[in-house]
Amino acid sequence: MIEEVGKIKLDLTHYPGEDFYCDGEIEDELLTIARDRAAVEYQRIIEERKSWEILYHFSPLRENIVEWLPMNRAMKVLEVGSGCGAITGALSRKAGEVTCVELSKKRSLINAYRHMDADNVTIHVGNFQDVEPDLPCDYDYICLIGVFEYAQAYIGSEKPYEDFLKIIKKHLKPGGHIAIAIENKFGLKYWAGCREDHLGVYFAGIEDYPAGGVVRTFTKDALLAIAKRCGFSEAQMYYPYPDYKFMTTLYSDRRLPRRGELSDNNRNFDWDRLQLFDEKRVFDSVIREGQFPLFSNSYFLLLGPSLSEEYIKYSNDRKEEFQIKTLQKSTGFGPVIEKHPLSKGAEKHMEDTAKAYEKLAERYRGSLLAVNEAELEQTAEGIPYIRIKFLEGKTLEEILDERLEKKDLEGFHSLFDEYLKRISVGEEQAVADYDMIFANIMVEQDDNGCYKLDNTWHLIDCEWTFDKTIETSEIAFRAIYCYLLEDEKRNELNVDLIMDKLGIGQAEAEQYRRQEMKFQKYVTGKRLSMAEIREAIGQKSYSLSDICQGLRDCTEDDRIQIYEDTGSGFLEEQSFFPEEDGEQVVRSGEGLLELSVKIGRGRSALRIDPGNRSCLIWIKKIVWNGEAVALKGKQMQMNGFKVGEDLYAFPTKDPNITLSLRGLPGEEENHLEAVMEVTAMPIETIRQMQKRGLFS
């Protein structure tokens, strides 16, 4: 009952013989990629295929959610719901033994082929309830990544979430951890107009899943309450951002996000979305009010003893030699910051960065800009990393934002002048930090939370330091350029005034912008950013203004206009819109239109414009003063052509039907009735159908 794919073992003891869950043909493509392509090719395939499914299953960013966990080769890990192996590779590289449970054999094969060199992974294929009795009870970590919300589907009880967690708990080693990654039903992205991740329905979670189904996500308090009812006394809540699927930053209650940090919010890869408000601004407001945990898009609940990790930021969307992670960890002496390489190639980058701290510290020695203390160290495996002193305070970016919010432009420019003065020290030396953006400068504060211009400022990140001279104006231009790009509300700044201060003209500014683009490509290589991949996949975001404009356009397209000829032809000033003039217009499904209007005497003809788009119109009847009008001959003319019995095609955005009133009985007040079915159709479609003889 054991199959082997490379070094991976597939245990089929409990496999029922067929897969009861499948995403269709895309899984065949995923299997082909996993079997025939190397992992180094995945990024190129993602960019070429422009497919949400391939991105979701093969993006290396999927591993971030578990990569930071402090595992070692002495540990055993259980992964429930391993799917196509998005995180299995990270677990296999860190732990000594990895046990996976997955219902689908095809998905298990995808997992096995992509990690076939891992000799420490066994995949149990089958229903969890069937496999579970055979599992040991000594796992150091049990991972439920995108799994807990489906407990109703495979635990048939009145309390499936509690019962599932109790079952899982039995297999945990004393002192071990259960890791649960799940969406927050109150995640801000759902309020802003993203569809619920599992159902693809707007506001499904916020409305507490009115359509039913087996999927359920939870708020923070609800998750913690479930854990407490299951006997867990120790729990840490982490907050993956933008969400747990493609996490780039992990926050915790000990290190919550600061205002201005949450700016990467347009992450709709799988469906179109609404954009009901600016999520960055709302996040800033939520953070100010201390409510971020309630509105975090995702949660990572860690059940078990507290870990020292408080904050993790991943920079693995770069080319390999620059891929690193930054951690904030608690120690007996307070928090520390560490930078670790995420690839073999990035180890040299760590060594170079450590030297950069030393060189910059020498350049700014004795000035009011201090370079933070940093030391190059090694892990137990001999991998170099940097340990950096943790500093309290506010970033210059935060303080500048406060000046703008208070409309204190004089204070803003005073701080900017001080920034220029401090970063220009030693400008002639052949060492410079190109990334002296405002967020990388920490300003000391006194006990009252105030800062003084004669206080020391600290440069907290020197990763992009080069052994060459760079003019202060170029560094400052980049700082302002990045500052303005991150938030539209900063556009109230007088950029021309800042450019004058820097002595930069239009030509030089354009040169610096090109330099910035070159720098970004230097860092990322040929990789597309996640924003660029989202654009390539093609899912749209519709703002409120887009929606309102669309409604206006639809209204304009459907407006009925009637022209009256009193002897001078059809004139705009002798026309009216029945729906706006209180006349009776009834619309129903499938484009059915019923019109009942009053017409004064003395008119020789009427023109009915049923809308402003090309269409097919089936005229069911036209009645004048109670008598049916013949739908043929000179009595009725139109700028379309007949395609069937009382059916007409209009290859124009101004379709009209002209009714001659000559010979029809007239009264002091006449009554026109019309019933027609209007079906919108593109002009080119009508023309092609006519050209190919599809219309009689």
Report d(CA 29, CA 52) in Å as an integer: 13
Helix (H) or strand (E) holding 671: strand 669-680
H helices of 203-346, in order, are 220-229, 279-288, 292-295
Kindly tell me if the per-residue pLDDT of 552 is higher than 80: no
CA nearest to 650, candidates 695, 606, 605: 695
- Segment 305-310 shows an average pLDDT of 97
User: In order of start, what are the domains of the chain with their CATH numbers?
Assistant: 2-188+214-244+296-307 (3.40.50.150), 332-389 (no CATH), 394-513 (1.10.510), 559-691 (no CATH)
Kindly tell me if the per-residue pLDDT of 128 is higher than 90: yes
Kindly tell me if the per-residue pLDDT of 550 is higher than 70: no
* The predicted structure's pLDDT at residue 448: 67
Kindly tell me if the per-residue pLDDT of 644 is higher than 90: no
For residue 276, count CB atoms less than 10 angstroms from its CB and return exposed for 0-12, middle for 13-18, buried for 19 or more: middle
* The predicted structure's pLDDT at residue 444: 76
When pLDDT is cut at 50, 70 and 90, the band that residue 584 belongs to is confident
Give residue-wise pLDDT tens across range 233-284.
Answer: 999 999 999 999 999 999 999 999 999 899 999 888 999 999 999 999 999 9
Segment of 400-404, 555-559, 691-695 carrying the highest mean pLDDT? 400-404
Helix (H) or strand (E) holding 523: helix 506-524
Query: Residues of 368-391 as b/e, b for ≥16 C-beta within 10 angstroms?
Result: ebbbbebebeeeeeeebbbbbebe
User: Among 36-40, 60-64, 255-259, 581-585, where is mean pLDDT lowest?
Assistant: 581-585
User: Among 124-133, 231-240, 594-603, where is mean pLDDT lowest?
Assistant: 594-603
* The predicted structure's pLDDT at residue 197: 94
Kindly tell me if the per-residue pLDDT of 633 is higher than 80: no
Tell the residue number behind the tokens 């299997």, with chain if given.
31
Report d(CA 244, CA 302) in Å as an integer: 13
**What are the C-alpha distances in Å from 354 to residues 41, 377, 463, 469?**
31, 10, 8, 19
- Segment 374-397 shows an average pLDDT of 93
CA nearest to 426, candidates 373, 464, 461, 465: 465
Cα four-point dihedral sign 71, 76, 81, 86: positive
Q: Does 585 or 672 have the greater pLDDT score?
A: 672
This prediction's pTM: 0.81
When pLDDT is cut at 50, 70 and 90, the band that residue 350 belongs to is very high
* The predicted structure's pLDDT at residue 379: 92
Kindly tell me if the per-residue pLDDT of 320 is higher than 60: yes
* The predicted structure's pLDDT at residue 489: 78
* The predicted structure's pLDDT at residue 612: 87
Asked if residues 123 and 102 have their Cβ atoms less than 8 Å apart, the reply is yes
- Segment 212-235 shows an average pLDDT of 96
* The predicted structure's pLDDT at residue 229: 97
User: Among 23-27, 57-61, 160-164, 543-547, where is mean pLDDT lowest?
Assistant: 543-547
Q: Across-strand partners of 381?
A: none
When pLDDT is cut at 50, 70 and 90, the band that residue 677 belongs to is very high
Asked if residues 431 and 364 have their Cβ atoms less than 8 Å apart, the reply is no
When pLDDT is cut at 50, 70 and 90, the band that residue 581 belongs to is confident
Task: Report which DSSP code applies to 217.
Answer: -
Kindly tell me if the per-residue pLDDT of 588 is higher than 80: no
Give residue-wise pLDDT tens across range 132-165.
Answer: 999 999 999 999 999 999 999 888 889 999 999 9
Share of the chain above pLDDT 90, in %: 73
Task: Report which DSSP code applies to 428.
Answer: T
- Segment 193-205 shows an average pLDDT of 94
Kindly tell me if the per-residue pLDDT of 696 is higher than 60: no
Kindly tell me if the per-residue pLDDT of 290 is higher than 60: yes
Helix (H) or strand (E) holding 300: strand 298-303
* The predicted structure's pLDDT at residue 52: 95
The average confidence (pLDDT) of the chain is 92
Give residue-wise pLDDT tens across range 52-86.
Answer: 999 999 999 999 999 999 999 999 999 999 999 99
User: Among 87-91, 310-314, 609-613, where is mean pLDDT lowest?
Assistant: 609-613
When pLDDT is cut at 50, 70 and 90, the band that residue 554 belongs to is low
Kindly tell me if the per-residue pLDDT of 666 is higher than 90: no
CA nearest to 561, candidates 604, 609, 529, 526: 609
